[in-house]
Amino acid sequence: MSQILGIDIGGSGIKGAPVDLTSGTLIAERHRIPTPQPSTPQAVALVVRELCEHFGWRDAVGCTFPAVIRGGVALSAANVDKSWIGTNAERVLSEASGLTVRVVNDADAAGLAEARFGAGRGEDGVVMLLTLGTGIGSALLHGGLLVPNTELGHVELNGKELEHYASDKVREDQDLSWKKWAERLSTSLQYLERLFSPDLFILGGGVSKKGDKFLPLLQVKTPVKLAELRNQAGIVGAALYAAGRER
């Protein structure tokens, strides 16, 4: 299977495109549909079906989802309706689309994509991706093998979760200078260094577009790179996951 439809489910938009698994490129223009409100399982499933029909898709599908996913079941729900918690997301989306759908945590999907086609290409050691946005998402890979659902944004440092200390939202809400925020981010990365001894950090999320503002200010021993795939990472990673390329 060389092509799979990847769909990235987010709190404000659901977007997808077929992915060439050899090159990691989209083989059609990405199509986006606003996330329904409320974003219940049934409502989101109808959008996933609409995206499959838009591309005339009749094969396997991969979907990201903003939640801890275990055995296809959503164990949490970030920026989507809480009725997802405890729902078998793979079953709901498969039944609605009539296709085989695999579901993966959104940060894990980005990590898979970056490890295979982006900033982590060729790195055989421990790669840690952090998405810096409203919160902090994470993906951990070793030798290209995904360790799912790490949720490192919830690790506590000095009595605060990392995402309440060093997310991009915190930077904006507290009007932190780039220097001050880089100090917080450095402290967070140093803590993760002590816990995991990674060979590479990859920083993603919207703030990665402004890497020149903070990357030179970081003080960590581990090499740090900016994510390369940006808005395509979720779609590409979802397709890789559906193809069984998380192994």
At 182-224, the pLDDT tens digits run: 999 999 999 999 999 999 999 999 999 999 999 999 999 999 9
User: Given this model, what pLDDT does residue 246 score?
Assistant: 65
Asked whether the predicted pLDDT for residue 177 surpasses 90, the reply is yes
Domains of the chain (ranges, CATH numbers): 3-108+231-242 (3.30.420.40), 122-228 (3.30.420.40)
Statement: residue 247 has pLDDT above 70: no
Q: How far apart are the first and last CA of the chain?
A: 16
What distances in angstroms separate CA 233 from CA 30, 104, 239, one per listed residue?
12, 13, 10
What is the pLDDT averaged over residues 128-137?
Answer: 96
Q: What is the pLDDT of residue 39?
A: 98
- For the full predicted model, state whether its pTM sits above 0.85: yes
Please report which confidence band the pLDDT of residue 32 belongs to, taking 50, 70 and 90 as the band edges: very high
Residue 245 has pLDDT above 80, yes or no: no
